[in-house]
Amino acid sequence: MSRPVVIVDPLSSGVELAPAFKARGIPSIAVTLKAGEWDGFGSKIRTADFLEIIPDQPDLIEILREYDPIAILPGTEEGVSLAERLTLALTPQRANDPEKAQNRLHKAGMQQALQDAGVATLKTLDTASEQEVVAWIQANGFQDSPLIIKPPISAGSDKVFHVPAGGDWKTPFHRVLDEPSKTTGERNMTVVVQELAVGTEFAVGTVSAGGKHYLAHLIQYNKTSSSDGQTKTVYDFVEFVPFDADAHGELLEYTKRALDALGIRWGAAHNEIMLTKNGPRLIETGARMCGGPVVGFARVASGSSQADKLVEIYADGDVASEEYTFRKTVMPVFLASPARGKISNAEALAETSKLPTFLNENLWFKNGDTVPHTVDYLTAIGIIALSGDRQSVLADKAKVREMESRLVVRPSSEQS
């Protein structure tokens, strides 16, 4: 039997890893964590993909040592810490810098690592004290500036709040402290307060091999506010775009410097970076693949993906090609619910599959289901993916929005 890879928490985009390795004759072992609950792509482990499924346990390292794995990879943000510990114990030659492990998880720690390395950052505070926030705002002259409030460790835009200039930051500050994470169920001990980066936001998907960093996909974000106006982290649509050296060269070089500063040497990274008038600024990095159905989208857009390039790295030692290719526009359109309630006419979206640029759909509801109020990535209720000529894609996106507007969600407060 070939030596396996170990995938820690193979959910979200992590469900794509085992099939990609299997196509090269490499089996996979799943390590499972205590699961949070959410609806969305990859919310269930595909048990048939794995040689063994092993829950996290005290003697896990010794159990896995018997399999002599070639690599340990995280499937989700929640799997990153354990995957890194297992890598240090079992495949240390392919480990990221252990001294920067906390910086790769903590949103304020990321900024500190970049600052220490001389890479441009956003002004950031990590605290549980209102008084410290007041002093920090005054010291930086942010009294009339917009701010970001978010958890120090999170994913999927969970509890990321945009506070307008002079707005109420105390309410979201205490929501971050008082409300548990949607994915882990754990409470936050501190809150990250940050200056707002203004510009065009990108997801720069990379893979690294021995400290060399390669572009796997480039996604431009388009976000909007939730229907109650309390957050501005609702995804409208995202677009896979071609790499242009003039437009994106500084962005990619900045990303590589950030990866170096964070000690990322091996594996995938999901880098959210704002291209501002003063240059790129890191929003956050996850030392794992971009979440959701991005692997399939990337394959259509470019012919490859982070998952495919990871297979090349761990099977062959490096990527097959350093060049990033682009084939066609892919535009995932995110569906939102204006309130928590029951959907009664899912058929309003039946015609999306007949659109000329329709690629696929992931709908996480049917008639009679209770859906959440959409306030972030984790509470989106579906994704309609479009692909083809960009102008045709944009025309079909407008049609998707028109169909979505006909969805009837009966708010929970109105239910008998």
**Contacts of 340 by beta carbon, 8 Å cutoff, 6+ apart:** 370, 371, 372, 373, 411, 412
**67-116, pLDDT tens digit by residue?**
999 999 999 999 999 999 999 999 999 999 999 999 999 999 999 999 99
Does 52 have pLDDT greater than 60?
Answer: yes
Distance CA 238, CA 233 (A): 12
Domains of the chain: 5-95 (3.40.50.20), 123-195 (3.30.1490.20), 200-414 (3.30.470.20)
Distance CA 151, CA 25 (A): 40
Average pLDDT over residues 360-378: 90
Q: Which of the four pLDDT bands, split at 50, 70 and 90, describes residue 158?
A: confident
pTM for this prediction: 0.92
With CA atoms as reference, report the closest residue to 337 among 385, 371, 378: 371
Does 44 have pLDDT greater than 80?
Answer: yes
Does 153 have pLDDT greater than 90?
Answer: no
Average pLDDT over residues 230-255: 90
Evaluate whether 42 touches 13 at the Cβ level (below 8 Å): yes
Does 229 have pLDDT greater than 60?
Answer: no
Start-end of H helices in 262-319 = 294-302, 306-316
Average pLDDT over residues 178-193: 85
Task: Return the percentage of the chain with pLDDT > 70, whole number.
Answer: 95
**104-148, pLDDT tens digit by residue?**
999 999 999 999 999 999 999 999 999 999 999 999 999 999 999
Average pLDDT, the chain: 93
Does 180 have pLDDT greater than 70?
Answer: yes
**335-352, pLDDT tens digit by residue?**
999 999 999 999 999 999
Letter for the amino acid at 414? E
| Terminal alpha carbon distance of the chain | 58
pLDDT at 416: 35
pLDDT at 230: 58
With CA atoms as reference, report the closest residue to 205 among 246, 250, 241, 160: 241
Which H/E stretch holds residue 401? Answer: helix 390-404
Residue 91 DSSP label: -
With CA atoms as reference, report the closest residue to 322 among 216, 246, 220, 243: 216
Does 15 have pLDDT greater than 70?
Answer: yes
Average pLDDT over residues 267-290: 97
Residue 70 DSSP label: S
Does 283 have pLDDT greater than 70?
Answer: yes
Residue 43 token pair: 């919310």
DSSP annotation string for 124-177: EEEES-HHHHHHHHHHHT-TTS-EEEE-SS-STTTT-EEEPTT---HHHHHHHH
**HSE (CB half, 13 Å, CA atoms) of 307?**
28
Distance CA 46, CA 370 (A): 25
